[in-house]
Amino acid sequence: MSELKNRIDFVYIFDVQDGNPNGDPDAGNLPRVDAETGMGLVTDVCLKRKVRNYVQAVKNCADGYDIFIKEKAVLNKFIDAAHEEEIVKNAADKTTAAKDIMCRKFFDIRTFGAVMSTGKNAGQVRGPIQLTFSRSVNPIAATEHSITRMAVATEKEAEKQGGDNRTMGRKATVPYGLYVCHGFISANLAKQTGFSEEDLSLFWDALKNMFDVDRSAARGLMSAQKLIVFKHDSMLGNAPANKLFDRVKVEKQCEGAPRKFEDYIVTIDKDNLPAGVTIEEMI
């Protein structure tokens, strides 16, 4: 595995059409929204889930590419298994030895980090990749739709309806929303977790393709539209991330409500870049 030696900052732009990109369970699963501005929100956890699902589908939990936070997992079982390894049993510092095993085994631990002190202690890991909440470029218009199910769940429900067997439900969608996420990759933390250049390549593949392996009727049409990467020639970086992000502008170019990606224009200022920083458009 090749060691990651460069700090990286990136801008990830994706959109949704006629779907709910990230429902809020505290608000009846309506699309998340900034109450003051009306801008749509997608949590970092939502995108990390899709990355995990993509890696699990592509690698099929192969050695070194298992997923720690996966559906219906009992996390302490994985931690306990690490403590059963001979190298951990014979180690003077069992916590650190177990943490090293967990990082080598699980892609998402060495990528995003994890808290592994909930049972037998494997410590806490700060992951080299961190994501912000994604925020829509314009306010979103969340809409609720009534839907009909031509069946009921129980005989009791059927008796109440006299055999009509129809139930009503609700479905929330965003007609269209373009979201911008900012990401940070620390070479220092990558060194601590063992996150490699090969892992980074897999992460980029996930951002490009994860919506295509995570389709759902509830989420409508979600698509990756732009991935703009700022690479520094040092571990600590050569310029503040916010100044680099300011070089990416996303502006509406249509009249009225946008309904497709082409209703926006994305411009990248590549002139007079700080020394030691390069830009690559990966999508």
Per residue in 59-77, pLDDT (tens digit) is 999 999 999 999 888 999 9
Report the candidate in 230, 195, 189, 236 with the shortest Cα–Cα distance to residue 9: 230
Report the candidate in 111, 17, 6, 119 with the shortest Cα–Cα distance to residue 66: 111
Q: What's the mean per-residue pLDDT of the chain?
A: 93
Q: What is the structure's pLDDT at 3?
A: 92
Residues 197 and 242 sit within 8 Å (Cβ to Cβ): no
Residues 44 and 12 sit within 8 Å (Cβ to Cβ): no
Q: What is the structure's pLDDT at 161?
A: 74
Q: What is the structure's pLDDT at 35?
A: 92
Q: What is the structure's pLDDT at 28?
A: 86
Residues 74 and 77: their CA atoms lie apart, in Å, by: 6
Indicate if the pLDDT at residue 94 is higher than 80: yes
Q: What is the structure's pLDDT at 82?
A: 94
Report the candidate in 6, 1, 11 with the shortest Cα–Cα distance to residue 179: 11
Residues 16 and 131: their CA atoms lie apart, in Å, by: 19
Instruction: Say which amino acid occupies 112.
Output: F
Indicate the pTM of the whole model.
0.91
Please report where in the chains the tokens 């829509």 appear, as a residue.
136
Q: What is the structure's pLDDT at 197?
A: 96
Q: What is the structure's pLDDT at 175?
A: 95
For 143, list phi and psi in degrees, rounded to 5.
-125, 140
Q: Across residues 266-274, what is the average pLDDT?
A: 96
Structure confidence at residue 213 as a pLDDT band (50, 70, 90): very high
For residue 183, list its beta bridge partners: 10, 131
Q: What is the structure's pLDDT at 163?
A: 67
Q: What is the structure's pLDDT at 148?
A: 81
Q: Across residues 256-263, what is the average pLDDT?
A: 95
Structure confidence at residue 143 as a pLDDT band (50, 70, 90): confident
Per residue in 148-182, pLDDT (tens digit) is 877 777 788 777 777 677 777 788 999 999 999 99
Tokens of 182: 């900012």
